[in-house]
Amino acid sequence: MPITHTPKTATADDAPLISRTLARAFDDDRMMRGFFPDDASREERLGRYFTTLFTRQYVRHGVCEHTEAAAAFWVPPEAQAKAVPDAEAVRQLQDVLGDRAPYFRDTIETAAEHTPQEPHWYLAVIGADPAAQGQGHGAALLRSGLAKADAAGLPAYLESSKPSNLPFYEHFGFTVREELRLPGDGPVLWGMWREPRGPHRVAGS
């Protein structure tokens, strides 16, 4: 049998698989539950949300990879100015978020104020279908992206609103750089940083 957790480059044609996977992965995430509080419609709305982010934003300007049960969106430093929602993406996000759109905007703006200014690879999204957890899908995607950052001699940055995920990221060399409370009685968001490793490390790292 093929090794199904080998990362593959994602294309727009992969949107249905990726959106379903991420909708399941983030169903219990506190930040996403703040965006989509209705249990009955959360999975469908999360699917639309991730479809918009993927097709309108990250697949165009980021480095997107997936396995059969996980997906990750990275943004290298040279693409970060472009990897922002365009007008159509904003319209689609407002439609799927409904009356939670202002809360979403406040949350994103708060997180953006704390984004590191140093050049880095940003892990915007990573998630695995809970049915496949423990099979190495997320780890394979994380290793693949970190290898690219290391090859460029650059650090990596991510944000997590799920405390149970922190040890997983720490295993790969991330450390907590900052904790911030999201607006509207939102959850804590942990900003995590990892210095580059290997022969391509920049001087002084």
CA–CA dist 139, 34 (Å, integer)? 27
Q: For residue 189, with 0-12 CB atoms within 10 Å meaning exposed, 13-18 middle and 19 or more buried, which class applies? A: buried
pLDDT tens digit at each of 205 positions of the chain: 444 689 999 999 999 999 999 999 999 999 999 999 999 999 999 999 999 999 999 999 999 999 999 999 999 999 988 888 889 999 999 999 999 999 999 999 999 899 999 999 999 999 999 999 889 999 999 999 999 999 999 999 999 999 999 999 999 999 999 999 998 888 999 999 999 997 654 433 3
pTM for the structure as a whole: 0.92
DSSP strand pairing (70-75 vs 156-160): unpaired
Q: For residue 177, with 0-12 CB atoms within 10 Å meaning exposed, 13-18 middle and 19 or more buried, which class applies? A: middle
Residue ranges covered by each domain of the chain: 8-194
The label of the residue with tokens 């982010």 reads: 53
- Residue among 147, 135, 134, 152 at smallest CA distance from 173: 147
Q: How far is CA 139 from CA 22, 30, 129, 169, in A?
A: 15, 22, 13, 9
Q: What is the number of other CB atoms lying within 10 angstroms of the CB of residue 138?
A: 24
Look up the CATH architecture of domain 8-194. Answer: 3-Layer(aba) Sandwich (3.40)
